[in-house]
Amino acid sequence: MDKNKREELKSQRTVTGAVLGNLESFLLLRSLRELDTRIERQVKNAAEVAKYLEGNKIVKRVWHPSLESHPNFILCAKQMKSPPGILSFELDKEELVHKFLQNLKLISCATSLGAVHTTIDWRYKWDTKQDPSLVRLSIGIESSKDIIKDLDQALNILGKSVQ
């Protein structure tokens, strides 16, 4: 690279601030060092949560490739090292989704995915072309028992209102 181009890029970098600060660099490096551990935990948790949800009577359908009921279970098992830390599930009606989301205590509603804590997203709220009964979970690294306990208590409230 010629000297003029290098100086131009350096100047642009300085003016636009396209350089990580010391703290951001440290945090990125620290999180990369523990990435494997976080992913392993999320994958394990997601499989346990998917299995729990599939066994719940209030849940209409669970979408996670760790489940034999998933249409691409065999293909995913062949092509993936492990299933993802994200899953989706459906309830019967939009009204149930509203009530369900209101009763979660540990899991927070968010549109972003991949955090270390479990988040839930109801796409229909932002895009009405989506199925109003579908929600997706981005599983975190909390204890799977805590995640399941929160889902269970919110689903139990729905079960009482449906009967």
Residue 89 has pLDDT above 90, yes or no: yes
Q: State both tokens at 89.
A: 């599930």
What is the identity of the amino acid at 144? S
- Calpha distance 103→81 (Å, rounded): 34
Percentage of residues of the chain with pLDDT beyond 90: 66
Name all domains of the chain by residue range, CATH numbers in brackets: 20-162 (3.90.1150.10)
What is the per-residue pLDDT across 130-147, written as a single tens digit (0 to 9) for each? 999 999 999 999 999 999
Is the separation of the CB atoms in 64 and 70 below 8 Å?
A: yes
Q: pLDDT-based confidence at 82, cuts 50/70/90?
A: confident
Mean pLDDT score of the chain, rounded to an integer?
A: 91
Q: What per-residue confidence (pLDDT) applies to 76? A: 84
Task: Name the residue among 118, 51, 149, 40 with its Cα closest to residue 84.
Answer: 40
Residue 98 scores a pLDDT above 60: yes
Helices (H), 55-133: 73-79, 94-102
Please compute, for residue 131, the number of CA atoms within 13 A of its CA located in the half-sphere on the CB side.
12
Residue 125 has pLDDT above 80, yes or no: yes
pLDDT band with cut points at 50, 70 and 90 for residue 112:
confident
Confidence of residue 20 (pLDDT cuts 50, 70, 90): confident
From CA 138, how far away is CA 20, in angstroms rounded? 27
Tokens 């109003």 appear where? 132
pLDDT tens for residues 27-64? 999 889 999 999 999 999 999 999 999 999 999 999 99
Question: What does the pLDDT read at residue 118?
Answer: 97
Q: Are 58 and 155 a contacting pair, CB within 8 Å?
A: yes
Q: Which helix (H) or strand (E) holds 35?
A: helix 35-54
Q: Is the pLDDT confidence value at 163 over 60? A: no
Residue 31 tokens read as 């999180």
